[in-house]
Amino acid sequence: MLDIRLFRKSPEIIMENLRKKFQEHKMPLVDEIIELDRQNRDARKKADGLRSGRNTLSREIGAAMAHGDAAGAESKKALSEEMAAELAGLEVLEERLGALVREKMMMIPNIIDPSVPIGRDDSENVEVERFGEPVAPDFEIPYHVDIMESFGGIDLDTARKTSGSGFYYLCGDIARLHSAILSYARDFMIDRGFAYCIPPFMIRGSVVSGVMSFAEMENMMYKIEGEDLYLIGTSEHSMIGKFIDTILDEESLPQTWTSYSPCFRKEVGAHGIEERGVYRIHQFEKQEMIVVCKPDDSPAWFVKLYTNTVDFFRSLDIPVRTLECCSGDLADLKVKSVDVEAWSPRQRKYFEVGSCSNLGDAQARRLGIRVRGGDKANYFAHTLNNTVTAPPRMLIAFLENNLTPDGSVSIPAPLRVYMGGKEAIRA
Largest CA distance in the chain: 107
Give 238's contacts (C-beta < 8 A, 6+ positions apart): 199, 200, 201, 203, 207, 232, 259, 261
Q: Is 286 domain-assigned?
A: yes
**Which pTM was predicted?**
0.90
- 190 within a domain of the structure (yes/no): yes
How many domains are contained in the chain? 2
Q: Are residues 89 and 208 in the same domain?
A: no
Question: 69: pLDDT confidence band, cut at 50, 70 and 90?
Answer: confident
| The pLDDT of residue 65 | 85
Same domain? For 251 and 400 the reply is yes
Whether residues 259 and 371 share a domain: the answer is yes
At 50-62, the pLDDT tens digits run 989 888 988 888 8
Q: Which of 93-97, 210-214, 342-346 has the lowest mean pLDDT?
A: 210-214
The pLDDT tens digits of the residues spanning 202-242 come to: 999 999 999 988 777 777 899 999 999 999 999 999 999 99
Q: What is the pLDDT of residue 392?
A: 84
Could you tell me if residue 45 is inside a domain? yes
Verify that 197 and 60 share a domain, yes or no. no
Residue 413 lies in a domain: yes
Of 35-44, 268-277, 399-408, which gets the smallest average pLDDT?
268-277
Closest CA to 146 of 242, 249, 276, 286: 276
pLDDT of residue 276: 67
Q: What pLDDT does residue 394 have?
A: 93
Q: Looking at residues 82-102, what average pLDDT do you find?
A: 93
Q: Which amino acid is at 419?
A: M
**Is pLDDT of 25 > 90?**
yes
Q: Which residues contact 119 (CB under 8 A, 6 or more apart)?
A: 125, 126, 326, 327, 328, 329
Pairing status of strand 255-264 against strand 283-293: antiparallel
| Domain end call among 105, 139, 162 | 105
- Is residue 32, in this structure, part of any structural domain at all? yes
The mean predicted confidence, pLDDT, of the chain is: 93
**Same domain? 322 vs 231:** yes
Could you give the C-alpha distances from 125 to 186, 284, 324, 325, in angstroms and in order?
A: 29, 26, 6, 5
> Do 337 and 416 have their domain in common?
yes
> What is the rounded average pLDDT of the residues 323-331?
97
Residue 57 sits in the same domain as residue 132: no
- 22 & 97 share domain: yes
384, exposed or middle or buried, with CB in 10 Å at 0-12, 13-18, 19+? buried
Instruction: Output the domain CATH number for residue 412.
Output: 3.30.930.10
Q: Are residues 229 and 334 in the same domain?
A: yes
Whether residues 233 and 129 fall in one domain? yes
Is residue 277 a contact partner of residue 383, using CB atoms and an 8 Å limit?
A: no
Q: Domain check: are 353 and 246 in the same one? A: yes
| Domain finish residue from 71, 105, 139 | 105
CA distance 395 to 418: 15
pLDDT (average), residues 25-35: 97
pLDDT of residue 191: 98
Query: Cα angle at 423 between 420 and 425, to 5 degrees?
Result: 85
Quick one: pLDDT at residue 286?
96
Last residue of some domain: 105, 131, 152? 105
The CATH number of residue 73's host domain is 1.10.287.40
- pLDDT bin (cut points 50, 70, 90) of residue 385 is very high
Strands ordered across the beta sheet of 230-231: 202-203, 230-231, 222-223
Residue 278 DSSP code:
T
In a domain, 117, yes or no: no
Same domain, 309 and 392: yes
Domain ranges, residue 375: 122-425
Is 269 a residue whose pLDDT tops 70? no
Is pLDDT of 271 > 60?
no
Q: State the Cα–Cα distance between residues 274 and 143, nearest whole angstrom.
A: 8
Does 290 reside within a domain? yes
